[in-house]
Amino acid sequence: MPVNFAPDLVIQGFTPPLKRADFKLAAFDMDSTLINIECIDEIAAAAGKKAEVAAITEAAMRGEITDFKDSLRRRLSLLKGVPVSALEQVLNERLQFNPGARELCAALKAAGLKLVLVSGGFTYFTRYVAAQLGMDFVRSNELAFDANGALTGELVMQDWGDICDGEEKRRMMLACAAQIGALPAQCIAVGDGANDLPMMSAAGLSVAYHAKPKVREQAMVAINSGGLDRLLCVLSA
């Protein structure tokens, strides 16, 4: 039975608090979790296609579109020809960290946890976010550009594949955990959308941040208002 641990926290499956020292790794989604926007929707705004792209994004995050890879390819195809300057504008003018993101990451790092950024978004943005928050591992998608610096509507194949979907997020979290000698039970997974559920289900502590209903229902901790640092109420120092 879920309980309200605090006005903005819903807890189910355990009795808080837990100890930060019980965990060795925390994996985070980026868009709408660590940051305030869905980057692909903001890029689409520059192409005059935000409504069309955002509708697909919303349906995918709610779990109504179950094939994330297909939904991402559909959205990317609508962005063909968008110049790199549009991405620069999103990064410089639209992207902000969600409340408590810096504080939570700093507290977890101070407790000795390794941080993983796993995103269905793009390296153009994850590089910045990872550097700002001190992430130890990063996995995200690489946008392809043509010779004129415009989006081709496709992704670059990387050594692990081309699309970081829910299963890749899970695989990356577990691979990073194994690399540092951590068990899945010693992992924290934080997200907001349906494609975060695979990694959240594999982690010892799953956290939904201002999430879609399907994600809130399955998470052990749901932060429904306030900042990400509300999680620190559940994790004692």
Domain ranges of the chain: 3-37+97-236
**Could you read off the pLDDT of 104-138 as tens digits, one per residue?**
999 999 999 999 999 999 999 999 999 999 999 99
Q: What φ, ψ does residue 64 adopt, rounded to 5°?
A: -80, -25
pTM beyond cutoff 0.75: yes
**Could you read off the pLDDT of 165-195 as tens digits, one per residue?**
999 999 999 999 999 999 999 999 999 999 9
How far apart CA 75 and CA 2 sit, in angstroms, is 36
Q: What φ, ψ does residue 24 adopt, rounded to 5°?
A: -120, -15
Strands 9-11 and 221-223: antiparallel
Is 70 noted as a catalytic residue in this protein?
no
Catalytic residue among 31, 192, 196, 229: 31
Check whether 222 has a pLDDT greater than 90: yes
Check whether 226 has a pLDDT greater than 90: yes
How far apart CA 83 and CA 151 sit, in angstroms, is 6
pLDDT at 49: 87
Q: What φ, ψ does residue 194 adopt, rounded to 5°?
A: -60, -30
**Could you read off the pLDDT of 54-107 as tens digits, one per residue?**
889 888 888 887 889 999 999 999 999 999 999 999 999 999 999 999 999 999
Q: Which of 54, 57, 76 is nearest to 65 (CA)?
A: 57
Strands 9-11 and 235-236: unpaired
DSSP string, 61-107: HHTSS--HHHHHHHHHHTTTT-BHHHHHHIIIII--BPTTHHHHHHH
Catalytic residue among 8, 22, 29, 192: 29
CATH class, range 3-37+97-236 = alpha beta
Is 196 noted as a catalytic residue in this protein?
no
Query: What would the two tokens of residue 184 be?
Result: 């899945």
